[in-house]
Amino acid sequence: MALGNRHSFCWIAGVLPRDRFLDAAAEPLTDNAELQLAARRQLDTELSPEVGEEELAGAAERLGRQAPGRWRWIWAALVLVASVAMMFGPLWKGAMAWLEARAQMAPLVFASESRLSFHESLSKEDRLLLFGDESVPEGSGRWLPLWESDPENPMFYLEYATADYGTIPEDFLEVGERLDPGNGWFALKAAATGARDVLEREGPGRRDREARGKTVWIVNDESDVARRIELVKQGAMAERIESYHGRLAELRFSKLPRPGEFAESIPIMVYLASMRIDVDEQRLAELFAFEAGRCEREGDREAFRELATAWDRLFRARLEAARTLVETLIVNAGMGLSLPEMSSAAESLEVDAAMWKSRADRWQARKDTLKTASDADLEERTARYGSMLTSFSLPSISRQVLDPPQVTRADLLPATRVEQALLGRMMSGAGWLLLGLFGLASLSVVGMQAPLTRRMAKVLGRAFALRDALWIGGAGVLLPLAIYLVMRYATPLGRMEWGPRLTMYAVPVSHFVGLLLMWIVWPVVVAERRAVHGLGVLGWKRPGWWAWSAAVAPLAGMLCFSFAVPPGSTTVPLGVAGIACGAWSLVWFLGHAGRGVFGAARIRLQRGTVARAVRPAWLGAMLSLALLVVFFHAEERRWFAQDDLLKLGPGFTAYEAEVTEQLKRELREVIE
């Protein structure tokens, strides 16, 4: 007999392997003799009679290991600290960007938030240029300090003097002549401001059929209307016409911070969209139309010649000065309002009748074509591959021109990837909280168990060695993460090029949900498998088909959603099948956890032991989610830098700037 053999020595010493196992399991309970005795009795009844002595001796040796100590709490603390450190920056930045956008969209409601990170990054001078005096809610008083900072600057004066809609200072023309001699915009602005009070159309679009389709005008003050028309001619015939709106927009944009990610661009877009645009040019068009009708009625050919020259100079100058799509559309509307009257007067007075008729006809033909024109390829392309922003904005913007700029699938990809990365960042943060809740729930499950089961589960947890922990962490955490990343980035199954209009990002969302379900279920299944390897003497069984089906179900659901795109006849059935797979995995897990609380004593003991082994793996999954937040943040910034369609500028987005230039070319063709 080999006396050096440990098992043989135990048998010679009179300590049977069965008793040694029971002693090892009950030894940590010496502080409570009643619990210790109950533990020996329960384990004695659960030991399988077919178990060999070597298996019992090996199990006793594993239980005799030193308790793991505080490493679980240290691991939890490290995960918490590292996760907060990694997620704080990206998530905090997004939250601050949202608050900043909210403050700028409603400065009166959120006045206390008017100076957040966006404002603090600016100098005092730049803040005054961009926002004026923020202590004044609105109106000219807000912009008076800007003008006072440079009293000889006509651009700043115009921003101050025109801030109150419908009114201008009494000395507006005098100050304008002093600050900017030769600029006709001051006279034009003076003519347009308050014009609706003295001249208005009788109902928008209403026509008097007896007057050959002419607009019916209501004149409240004939002398004032005449004065304004003279100002229009004076301004239009001036040396130059400069409203400074475009130059001011460019100056302000140069002071704005350059966004590096989508969240940072939100307050920039809100600010650009909130910049004031002068719509009084519509009043100028109404004055042109009224004066043309008067010349036609009174046969005043010379006055019409002068008016025609003024019209030509004004609209050419305003067309060249327009920087944004809205400005150009205002010019287009003014042309449409005045051209019919100008053409009719030119025909009656026989003054360049062919030219004016051609202009009016070209403008009307362009308008009629735009009503029915539609770029079907762009509509379909943006619906399939555009982001939420591009799929809704690009088609509507492109419909403003006859020949919109071409947009390829490659052009749309960066914005879509930005949104998917942003979505991944948000889901990772939410998933981190969800797994944390599952971890707390597992603690609650253990806490709901009887003291005997809880103490025994802690002792039996010693049977899990480092190799078992590596198996649970590798197969339960790292393998699902690898599957998720490979499907997302290395295969077409990720459907990364598809936008939300047709898919609502169902593929990336379902894949992430599948990852969470795998992280919830797989460690449990692997831990039960390893528990049988270490504590098989208790008759614990390996995971059955139900458990393995619940483990495979999330992966099957991910594949179902992948094959549901592109949308077709199988989309709905595959989507339902994918949801059913995920639901089955979750139902199995909840039922499994429920039996750990309300099941038989043997089941409760096994589930409590497995729960202790699984919690470190879930902490590892939480750490992985924190890393994913950082990863998705970096991915978002990389694709954001490559997005040339939505790159911001003084004319808002790059695509809108291209459409603006195309619209200006088409309107130039109208007035040539």
pLDDT tens, residue by residue, 214-245:
678 999 999 999 999 999 999 999 999 999 99
Residues 567-580, mean pLDDT to the nearest whole number:
95
Mean pLDDT estimate for the chain:
85
d(CA 52, CA 40): 19
105-109, 212-216, 249-253, 605-609: least confident range: 105-109
pLDDT band at 268 (very low <50, low <70, confident <90, very high): confident
pLDDT tens digits, 289-348: 999 999 999 999 999 999 999 999 999 999 998 888 989 999 999 999 999 999 999 999
Please determine, for residue 494, whether its predicted confidence score (pLDDT) is greater than 50.
yes
How distant, in Å, are the alpha carbons of 28, 205, 246, 275 from that of 324? 77, 26, 8, 11
pTM confidence score: 0.85
pLDDT band at 516 (very low <50, low <70, confident <90, very high): very high
C-beta contacts of 542-547 below 8 A and 24+ residues apart: 546/588, 547/588, 547/592
Q: Residue 206: left if φ>0, alpha if ψ -120 to 50, beta else—which one?
A: beta
Q: What is the pLDDT of residue 96?
A: 61
Strands 214-215 and 207-208: antiparallel
pLDDT tens digits, 21-79: 777 777 667 777 777 777 777 777 777 666 666 666 766 676 766 556 567 778 878 88
Neighbours of 293 (CB within 10 A): 19
Cα-only R_g, the chain = 38
What are residue 214's DSSP bridge partners?
208
Q: Are 199 and 217 in contact (CB under 8 A)?
A: yes
Q: Are 278 and 206 in contact (CB under 8 A)?
A: no
d(CA 60, CA 290): 104
pLDDT tens digits, 361-380: 999 999 999 988 777 888 89
> Tokens in use for 168?
């201008």
Higher pLDDT, 449 or 299: 299
d(CA 153, CA 303): 35
∠ CA 662-664-670, rounded to 5°:
110
pLDDT band at 457 (very low <50, low <70, confident <90, very high): confident
d(CA 125, CA 23): 79
pLDDT tens digits, 106-126: 543 333 344 545 677 888 999
Residues in the chain: 672
Q: Are 234 and 267 in contact (CB under 8 A)?
A: no
pLDDT band at 10 (very low <50, low <70, confident <90, very high): very low
d(CA 510, CA 49): 47
Q: Coil, helix or strand for 215?
A: strand
Q: What is the pLDDT of residue 205?
A: 46
Give the N- to C-terminal CA distance of the chain in Å, as an integer. Answer: 114
